[in-house]
Structure 1
Amino acid sequence: MSAPDRIAEFLEAVSASFADGSLLKLKCGGYNGPEAELKSFEARKVSIKAGERLSFVFRYKTRDITKNFSIEEARAFLGEALGTIWRSAQLETTNFDIKFEIQGDKIHFKRRAVSGREAATASHDRTKNRPLTETDKPWLHALGITGKDGAVRADAQDKFRQINKMVEIFAPLIQGLKAENPRILDMGAGKGYLDFALYDYLSGQGKSAEIIGVELRPQLVSDGNATAKASGFAGLRFEAGSILDYDASGADAVIALHACDTATDDAIFQGIRAGADLIAVAPCCHKQIRREIERGQSDDRLEFLLRHGTFLEKQSEMVTDGLRSLLLEASGYRTKVFEFVSDAHTPKNNLIVAQKGKAPSREATLSRIAEVKAMFGISRHYLEGLLGLS
């Protein structure tokens, strides 16, 4: 059979499997078109407000772009591109697989039956859990994440992935708060990347929230408020002020991402003082405890580590955040510490999450803090002073 006949057969199989719900995955490769960085695409069936669609994810060298097509639009796109721009294609269904490829003048077409596969759900929940998958948001462009074409900029890929992951982590934590309209403070908000993404996501899920970005630099506060207004985000605003001086009373959640050194402790203290149900910080820099260890008298058994600058730096980070977790537990919080993104995107990738209630014994925790300080020759953790424990 000729190439047009095989392409027509392939398109009919795509349409039929889309209609009966047996389509699992559509993939195309062998790209031979004008876009230098485009490599391939994958598509699957999804269900969105507009109806059932084929969701195409176009894989570029440094970014992915998602577009949703109706089956008619998908057929038209494939009909024009298969065999010319896309030299190979594969369709996977619950009943059969088809592979189509053109190599020079030769046409390879293979269809084989399969069994035992379950139909894929058409739910679009995965996209909903990744609020930045749809990249045509005006605020994304205003914050410099996307270009005029709506695609994520090459130099913003790490930021894009990091914010996506942060919202995936924070959304269920915020949704689990008791308050119907939780008050969320982002201490040291900067440009407010997380604030815009989180507010957008929560709004899309029908969850109301008041998000306040606290930022010392007046220009960023002004820019943030202008973008929030242009985006129609009535519950999102930015206010000028330092972390420690801001009135955090009434906060249900306190967040601080990459607040430098003891500014992270200021945010933790504000959350504890406000009685926030949730405190979450991604620390940055750990200078205070490193200085304490350098001038203190640590356990001799640690000498083989602490005499090396690179090990001293890493130990200082772990000890700082370990003590922060213990101090939170001593203040009535249960804590978790984990990596929220790969260190390929940012080396400062640890997140401390503290939730109020069911904390370990205060007396035992304070005793453990004293033991750790003695081991590393630490006289005082900055957060201890804020809490009045030293």
Structure 2
Amino acid sequence: MGRSRQAGFSQDPLPHDQGTPLSAPERIEEFLSAVKSAFISGSLLRLKLGGYHGQEPDLKSIDVKKIAVKGGDKFSFTFHYKTRDIIKNHIQPEAIGHLRTALRDEFRSAQLSTTEFDMSFERNGDKVRLKRSEVAGREAPSTEHNRAKNRPLATSDKPYLQALGITGKDGVVRNDAQDKFRQINKMVEIFAPLIQAIKAEKPRIVDMGAGKGYLDFALYDYLANVAQRPAEVIGVEMRDKLVEDGNATAARSGFDDLSFVPGTILDYDAAGADAVIALHACDTATDDAIFKGISAGASLIAVAPCCHKQIRRQMEAGKPEDKLAILLRHGIFMERQAEMVTDALRALLLELNGYRTKVFEFVSDAHTPKNNLIVGEKDGRVGRDRDSILRQIAETKAMFGIEKHYLEELLGLQPS
């Protein structure tokens, strides 16, 4: 960092403030113009938005920088939540649009740092104030987008990665497994902070429908060897061969508290689980996992649903409201609406049982578009009361011609 020519920001108004005062929208555009110019010239060091007061639970701030990726330069947004960070990249026009909305409605302050000047943005209601100070001696930042430096699994010389087909005998990630390796890292990046937020000294994590255990091995490795946060991880899997292979690989890796057990989700006794996870459990198997998590009183329930058939069949056979006809007349629209309604009801049913919920995209997977994650964190102080949630569930079902959601049945709720 170079030296500022002034101590902090200039207290003098910007030159054009000496005439007719600029309106708040005009000041926002001036700030955005400075951001855009710094992006184009390559002088952008950092942009930080703070003072959040929007509707997104637990969002604290956003950091923005310029990155060079395949396809051209982009703005990289890092959304800082209470227990995790989420990164999204946007092309310039899209990014400026997001920033415009954020500065107008959601954030009270922003700090822009460039190689040539610093600029602060402060908003108080309809009033906006800008301050600028010139600086010297700062070097232009590198925009190389090397995700590997920030991967939770910084090295690939792990026995389990070779056993899972991610690396070859030389410990190098195979060319045909690069996407999978990135996906595993991204899953750990998302799940590790959620696990670390659990109060239990040694949380017990149950992965329902574990498959080969990609997430289980990587998450255990990260928690034990990087985060120094011991945890017990159990993968529940129907296929005996995968259970046998998983336990053998865990033993070879020295992962004493990682194990795989045979059985179905509903048959497994999840009592004592602090976290219940299910990735791409098909159709109602996702509901089975949510039910097991609720029944166990788990602090965390996180599911990535797949194959939303149960609700779709009811929507096709039922009588949705006439005004929804345009949204349901085409098969692809029906499928997407069924997914949204199914997961929205799941989130409401989690809230009904004392969980604070979020739904967001978590991994871009070339093999499946089912990449939404429903996260429920146990919170006895959930604001909305039971009657309000039950009313929303009933109104949603009536609107889409749904008789019952399978999860309602598991929870012993009477169809409304």
Tell me whether the two structures share a fold, i.e. TM-score over 0.5.
yes
Q: Does 1:157 align with 2:178?
A: yes
Amino acid at match of 2:320: S
Shift in Å, 1:147: 1.6
| Secondary structure, counterpart of 1:213 in structure 2 | strand
Shift in Å, 1:283: 0.5
Q: Does 1:167 align with 2:191?
A: no
Residue pair 2:183, 2:365 contacting (<8 A) in 1 also: no
Could you tell me which residue of structure 1 aligns to residue 166 of structure 2? 145
Q: Encode CA deviations 1:25-70: one digit per residue, 9 max, x unaligned.
A: xxxxxxxxxxxxxxxxxxxxxxxxxxxxxxxxxx99xxxxxxxxxx
2:249 to 222, 227, 245: 227
Q: Does 1:386 align with 2:410?
A: yes
Amino acid at match of 1:156: A
Question: Residues of 1 paired with 2:358 and 2:374: CA distance?
Answer: 6
Return closer, same or farther for 1:181/1:198 CA change in 2, 3 Å cut-off: same
Superposition map of 1:268-347 within 5 A: 268-342=290-364, 344=366, 346-347=368-369
Residue pair 1:214, 1:241 contacting (<8 A) in 2 also: yes
Residue pair 1:256, 1:264 contacting (<8 A) in 2 also: yes
Superposition map of 1:1-390 within 5 A: 115-117=137-139, 130-204=151-225, 205-342=227-364, 344=366, 346-357=368-379, 358-359=381-382, 360-390=384-414
Shift in Å, 1:157: 2.4
Return closer, same or farther for 1:153/1:347 CA change in 2, 3 Å cut-off: same
Amino acid at match of 1:116: R
| Secondary structure, counterpart of 2:168 in structure 1 | coil
Amino acid at match of 1:186: D
Residue pair 1:187, 1:255 contacting (<8 A) in 2 also: yes
Could you tell me which residue of structure 2 aligns to residue 56 of structure 1? none
Question: Residues of 1 paired with 2:206 and 2:245: CA distance?
Answer: 18
Shift in Å, 1:129: 5.8
Question: Residues of 2 paired with 1:129 and 1:318: CA distance?
Answer: 32
Shift in Å, 1:127: 6.7
Residue pair 1:132, 1:160 contacting (<8 A) in 2 also: no
Question: Residues of 1 paired with 2:318 and 2:173: CA distance?
Answer: 48
Shift in Å, 1:177: 0.5
Residue pair 1:129, 1:168 contacting (<8 A) in 2 also: no
Shift in Å, 1:149: 2.6
Question: Residues of 2 paired with 1:222 and 1:341: CA distance?
Answer: 28
| Secondary structure, counterpart of 1:148 in structure 2 | coil
| Secondary structure, counterpart of 1:297 in structure 2 | coil
For structure 1, which runs of at least 5 residues remain unmatched after alignment? 1-58, 61-93, 95-113, 121-125
| Secondary structure, counterpart of 2:183 in structure 1 | helix
Give the TM-score normalised by the residue count of structure 1. Answer: 0.67
List, as ranges, runs of 4+ consecutive aligned residues in structure 1 with deviation greater than 3 Å: 117-120, 126-129, 343-346
Amino acid at match of 1:315: Q
Question: Residues of 1 paired with 2:367 and 2:331: CA distance?
Answer: 24
Residue pair 1:158, 1:345 contacting (<8 A) in 2 also: no
Question: Residues of 2 paired with 1:309 and 1:261: CA distance?
Answer: 18
Question: Residues of 2 paired with 1:220 and 1:157: CA distance?
Answer: 22
Question: Residues of 2 paired with 1:283 and 1:265: CA distance?
Answer: 9
- Paired positions, count: 275
| Secondary structure, counterpart of 1:336 in structure 2 | strand
| Secondary structure, counterpart of 2:278 in structure 1 | strand
Supply the RMSD in Å over aligned alpha carbons. Answer: 2.1
Calculate percent identity across the aligned residue pairs. Answer: 72
Residue pair 1:163, 1:193 contacting (<8 A) in 2 also: yes
Shift in Å, 1:345: 6.0
Shift in Å, 1:115: 2.5
| Secondary structure, counterpart of 1:281 in structure 2 | strand
Shift in Å, 1:310: 0.6
Shift in Å, 1:346: 3.5
| Secondary structure, counterpart of 2:360 in structure 1 | strand
Shift in Å, 1:300: 0.3
Residue pair 1:253, 1:279 contacting (<8 A) in 2 also: yes
Question: Residues of 2 paired with 1:284 and 1:127: CA distance?
Answer: 29
For structure 2, which runs of at least 5 residues remain unmatched after alignment? 1-68, 71-114, 116-135
Question: Residues of 2 paired with 1:128 and 1:119: CA distance?
Answer: 16
Which is greater in Rg?
1
Q: Encode CA deviations 1:247-290: one digit per residue, 9 max, x unaligned.
A: 00000000000000000000000000000000000111100011
Residue pair 2:354, 2:378 contacting (<8 A) in 1 also: yes
Return closer, same or farther for 1:352/1:159 CA change in 2, 3 Å cut-off: same
Question: Residues of 2 paired with 1:383 and 1:232: CA distance?
Answer: 38
Question: Residues of 2 paired with 1:231 and 1:380: CA distance?
Answer: 45
Return closer, same or farther for 1:182/1:117 CA change in 2, 3 Å cut-off: same
Amino acid at match of 1:117: E
Could you tell me which residue of structure 1 aligns to residue 61 of structure 2? none
